[in-house]
Amino acid sequence: HVKRMTAPEITARKGGDPIVCLTAYDAPTASILDEYCDLILVGDSVGMVIHGLNSTVGVTMEMMILHGQAVMRGSQKALVVVDMPFGSYEDGKERAFQNASRMMMETGCQAIKIESGSYAAETIRYLVERGIPVMSHVGLRPQSHHVLGGFRARGRRESVANEIVENAKAAAEAGSFAVVVEGVSEDIADKVTEAVSIPTIGIGASAKCDGQILVTPDMLGLFDRVPKFVHKFADQKALVEKAASEYASNVKDRSFPRMENVYHFKK
Ligand code: KIV
Ligand code: NA
């Protein structure tokens, strides 16, 4: 029986060894990542990278619960955080608690994440006081892409930069155990890391953040087009293409199934 990483242990890593985080949505991937990650996020990016949606706005509680359950089954050591989907937490702390507690009870996850604009501090405090560790998410907030006007990097202008630092500070003071900083200029990310007492987890942010996260199918190279901040650590698309094409030709020329793949009468 292995003990999982806890939210306070993540918080204690502020300014220390970089915190390794990736997303996962299924049990077998989670079981591989579990060996290398301190934190696994079941991101609402699942809507885009698994379900083929154009944005995360269409992601539901039911989808997040299903994928959260799979990742919990596949992992043993990492802290598992599940994203609260659009519409499940923004309009009030009570409803946020109802949905976040349901997420924890039905998946067994140890924490949730919310995209936190200036309105979020009250909700964060309410959840944390009632037993729900909260990871915040500032900068580019994909659930607000209709308001922000797209998925472009944020905080490359002074006014927006201050807003991002203020959002992160408010989220930290309200009791978040860590904060994701997405799609901001490097100097703003560094300002946030200096300004808050909790770890910053960068994605399209800065190497000086207290940790890093990427969307796993993006970093595995499943897609041709990925944001600038992604480094492809593998070429999964080419791997799948090669295997599928070899399989197709083996089926057509009847070289698959091979001898060792077929059953015979027992003698
Ligand atoms: O949904 C997601 O995968 C995320 C990460 C990119 C931080 O929120
Ligand atoms: Na997300």
Atom of ligand 1 nearest to the CA of 115: 8
Question: Does ligand 1 come within 6 angstroms of the Cβ of 23?
Answer: yes
Tell me which residue has its CA closest to atom 1 in ligand 1: 43
| pLDDT confidence of residue 155 | 64
Q: Is 260 a catalytic residue?
A: no
pLDDT grade for 225, boundaries at 50, 70 and 90 = very high
Say which amino acid occupies 163.
E
Q: What does pTM read for this prediction? A: 0.96
Nearest to 22 by CA among 35, 6, 41: 41
Tell me which residue has its CA closest to atom 5 in ligand 1: 43
Question: Does ligand 1 come within 6 angstroms of the Cβ of 213?
Answer: yes
Token code pair at residue 45:
């990016």
| pLDDT confidence of residue 81 | 99
State ipTM: 0.99
Check 62, 166, 182, 241 and give the catalytic one.
182
**What is the third-level CATH fold of 7-235?**
TIM Barrel (3.20.20)
Nearest to 36 by CA among 213, 198, 154, 181: 213
| Residue 108 CB neighbour total at 10 angstroms | 14
56 Cα–ligand 2 center, Å? 7
Whether pLDDT at 1 is above 80: no
Check the CA dihedral 160-96-40-133 and report its sign: positive
Nearest to 168 by CA among 121, 112, 134, 130: 121
Token code pair at residue 205:
């942010």
- CB within 8 Å of 47: residues ≥ 6 apart: 53, 55, 56, 58, 59, 63
180 Cα–ligand 2 center, Å? 9
